[in-house]
Every structure is written in structure tokens, then in C-alpha cells.
Chain A
């Protein structure tokens, strides 16, 4: 049974006068992994940043169209962007732990500032999040070290743990493994498969193999336009658009 979680309708986005997305329509099903692919600058990051209302935080950026989450438009004037972002977590391309904050606090801050104060509950949730992100074993004895004392790859997994801690039901990932070694990348891909049971994932990646391995659906963009949206197996074997075929075979 098909169950639509996010429905993007006629979404166009601009940075000042520069249009980055035009008329994108996508339906994302619950508990699926959707990979966003396309050449550099085609609007992948812009697209996922429209899904958690981060696009509007950029000076001079605006958009048109609708993004329905469980049938409700997140851009409705009555919607609080903070509440929406609690449901839709995000992992950025560059690891960005909070400065001057311990590993523990980095993961805890989202919970604390959303009202969870009880230490035992926090401890439990933080261990669980760090385990999910595959970082627990490495940091369990130095939770009070600065988050910035970790290596780049560890920092990225810390950021994943931070996003998981508030238990969102959608997770957006912008090239989350581009700073990771193959082993950590394997960890994250495995994590995605586990996460799929509870959450829906939208992941931007430049790595075709990764897209093929982890995703159920592929959204392929060129120049801000959605060229093809298809089942992953179909996309790689029988793409509908000749442009997709060119891109897959590296003739782009």
C-alpha cells in the first residue's frame, strides 16, 4: 500500500533574482529512502532545504509552491517553522558540531532546549542516538570532551546522532558521507537501512553506487528541474529520460 508522507507541489525557489528550482513536483512515500542526484549546482541542496524551511533563512531567498507534510502545507502562515523542523531533522554536508560544547551536550542540546531536563532520560536517549550513529564505542569514555576534538568523520557521525536525538520522522541528509572514510560510510549506509523502519530519508549524494545501494527512489535534477523521479532499480536499468541515461553512463 502506497502511503504519501511528503508531497511537493509546483515548488520553485530563488536566491534573489537567481532561480534555483523550477516547478518541482514529487511525492515521497513513508519509510522509504529517496536519493537526490544531479550535477553540481542543479539545486539538490536547495530542494532539501525547502523541505524543512531552511531555505527562507538565507538572505534574499524565497520560494513559491507547496510542501505538504501528512497533507498539511508546511508553508501555511499558521505553521511554526521550529515545530516543523523538530519533525524533519537534517544532516549537513560539512560536519558542524556546536563550538565550545561537549560531545554529550551537542547531542543533548536539542532535547534540553525542547524541554527534556531529566538526566536519566537524557543519558538514555544520548547513548541510543550515539549508538545509532555508530559513534558510541569511540566516545563513551570521553563524552565530556569538546565535540570539535573529534576527527572530521567522527564529527559527522556526532551530527547524525544530534539529528536523531530529537526523533524526527523525516531525515534530510546533504551528502552526509562526503567527508567520511569507506568504513564510516558503510556504517552510515547500514544505519539508513535500519532507520528506514522508523523514518523517511531524503539523501543528496554524488555517489551513484551509494544512491543505488541505499535508495528506493531516485530524483534526478538538472538546472533546477526535476528530470526524472523513478524507482531506483528502474532508474538505473531503464531510465525514462535520455538525459538520465547520459548522466548514469557518465556522458553528461
Chain B
């Protein structure tokens, strides 16, 4: 059976499958490269200082920027993260550490379901419960994004913590460390890199959400003075300007798209760099 001929056939088979895998992976990445390429090509020319400092132009003006949308997005996404990330981490810890608990089981069900709720539905929900009472505001926008963020981060946290075998926790307990300290001082720091990857993914997702913001933060042609007012955001501006039909506004939209992509990249690299610094400090 082990004749050289069969070995050659196997080798060839092995190589073709490897080639196929490589090709398919490459094809999967192609749209990404195209998106980045087009966004850079169309958006780069628009970017200048005033793009980051000025309000959007009217259709017949040839200057202006998306400063209010950037500030608005930062505020709304920032607030959602500030409230949502710790909340979701605690929820994830609860789901993974008390898997059999009655409340955990129903919460897990809710989390699994809400991950699959389309974001526009969340937008309508927040619209009919919050906006109809208090009006459009950055708060309402943050709340809608919060509802998208929490289940994603909670689920990824739960899955990551479940990967740490039980005997690691027992090793902590056996040192006379109370259970909650084992989780928050040993297990969570030990999985920080993975946990933050989950957070980055969720952050990238909510930073680009448009539909729920249309129903909640609405938009604003100017800077909003407080979180209680309708607030401009980048995704909504991109949406509106790109379908406006005016070339100068469409260009603004491309510029906005470039800023949005770069923002997510920067956050991603920023967090990884922070982790790198943390590690090199801890390990020295």
C-alpha cells in the first residue's frame, strides 16, 4: 500500500486542498480590500482641517465638515461603552460562573435572543418607549446602542470565561482566595486580551450603527449643546448625505466613511497598544 505512487497522489491532494483554502481565504478578504481602497480613494481628498472643525455645508457651499457628527458619535458611543461595558462584563461573569442558576438561565436566553434582534427593531423600541416621552436625544441614542452592545459583550465574556478550565479557579480557591477575588483578580486579568477583543468587536459594530440612531438621536445640523438634544452622528450623516444627490455632500459622506473606519482602526490599535504596555510593565 505504501508505494511511492500513492504517496505522490496524497501529496498532490494535500497541496491542492491547501491551495483551495488559501484561495477561498483570499477571496473572502477581497471585498474588505475594495471597501478600504474605495473609501480611501474617494474620502482622502475631502479631508482637511475644516472637515474636522466645521459644520456640514449647504448643497451650494464648497467648504465645511462633519465636526458635529464626529463629536456626536464620540459622545453617544462613548456613553454607551462607559455604561455598557462594565455592565456586560458583570453579566458575562454571572452567566459563566453561575451557569445553573435559575436567573442566569433566563438571562442567557434573553441575551441569546437579543443578539439576533435586528438593530432597526431596537431603534423602534427605544423610539416608542423613550423618544415618545422625552424626545430625540443623545441619551436615547446611547440607550439604543447600549442594548446592542450589552448582549454582544456579555456573550463573548461568557464564552471566554467558560474556556478557562474549572481547575484553574480551584487553584485560586485552594490558595485561600475568596471566589469573587479569584474571578476578578486572577481569571479576568488573565483573559483581558480576549475580553477586550470582544469589546472592540462590539464597539466597531455600534460605531457604525445607523438605523437605531435615526429613531433616537435623529440628527442635528449644528453642535448639540447637551446630551438631551437631538444630536448629529457620523453614520446618520453618511446615510443622509450619500443619498442627497448633491456631489459636494456625497463627497462629505465619503470623508465621513473614511473617518469612521479610521476611528475603529485607531481604537483597535489603541487598545492593543495599551495591552502591550500593560504586559511589558507587568512582566518586568
Known: A82-B177, A85-B174, A86-B176. 4 other contacts (CB 8 A): A81-B173, A89-B174, A113-B177, A144-B283
- Asked if B190 contacts A163 (CB within 8 A), the reply is no
Q: Looking at the complex, which one of A99, A102, A145 makes contact with B164 (CB distance below 8 Å)?
A: A99
Which residues of B are found within 8 Å of A54, using beta-carbon distances? 170, 173-174
- Is A11 interfacial (CB 8 A cutoff)? no
Nearest opposing residue in chain A for B185, CB measure: A113
A96→B166 CA distance, assembly (Å): 10
Residues of B within 8 Å of A, CB-based: how many? 26
Total number of residue pairs linking A and B with CB closer than 8 Å: 82
Q: Looking at the complex, which one of A101, A144, A163 makes contact with B175 (CB distance below 8 Å)?
A: A163
A87→B176 CA distance, assembly (Å): 8
Say yes or no: A100-B178 contact (C-beta < 8 A), given A57-B173, A59-B100: no
Q: How large is the interface on A (under 10, 10 to 19, 20 to 34, 35 or more residues)?
A: 20 to 34
In the complex, which of the residues B165, B172, B176, B283 has the most CB atoms of chain A within 10 Å of its own CB atom? B176
Say yes or no: A86-B175 contact (C-beta < 8 A), given A59-B100, A101-B190, A144-B283: yes
Mind listing 16 A-B residue pairs with CB under 8 Å? A57-B173, A82-B176, A82-B177, A84-B176, A85-B175, A85-B176, A92-B170, A92-B174, A96-B171, A98-B172, A99-B190, A99-B191, A101-B190, A110-B177, A144-B284, A163-B175
Say yes or no: A96-B167 contact (C-beta < 8 A), given A82-B177, A85-B174: yes
- Is A40 interfacial (CB 8 A cutoff)? no
Nearest opposing residue in chain B for A101, CB measure: B190
Interface residues as binary, A88-119 with B (CB distance below 8 Å gives 1, 0 otherwise)? 01101010101111100100011001100000
Nearest opposing residue in chain B for A90, CB measure: B174
Which residues of A are found within 8 Å of B185, using beta-carbon distances? 109, 113
- Is B186 interfacial (CB 8 A cutoff)? yes
- Asked if A98 contacts B168 (CB within 8 A), the reply is yes
**Complex interface residues of chain B between 185 and 200 (CB less than 8 A to chain A):** 185-186, 189-193
Prevailing SS type, chain A contact patch: mixed
Say yes or no: A109-B284 contact (C-beta < 8 A), given A59-B100, A99-B164: no
- Is B243 interfacial (CB 8 A cutoff)? no
Nearest opposing residue in chain A for B176, CB measure: A86
Nearest opposing residue in chain A for B283, CB measure: A144
- Asked if B168 contacts A113 (CB within 8 A), the reply is no
- Asked if A99 contacts B168 (CB within 8 A), the reply is yes
- Asked if A92 contacts B176 (CB within 8 A), the reply is no
Which residues of A are found within 8 Å of B132, using beta-carbon distances? none
**Min CB distance, A34 to chain B, in Å?**
18
- Asked if A100 contacts B170 (CB within 8 A), the reply is no
- Asked if B176 contacts A114 (CB within 8 A), the reply is yes
- Is A203 interfacial (CB 8 A cutoff)? no
- Is B205 interfacial (CB 8 A cutoff)? no
Q: Looking at the complex, which one of B165, B173, B175, B284 makes contact with A166 (CB distance below 8 Å)?
A: B175
- Is B14 interfacial (CB 8 A cutoff)? no
Nearest opposing residue in chain A for B174, CB measure: A90
A110→B176 CA distance, assembly (Å): 8
- Asked if B174 contacts A163 (CB within 8 A), the reply is yes
**Complex interface residues of chain B between 150 and 173 (CB less than 8 A to chain A):** 164-165, 167-173
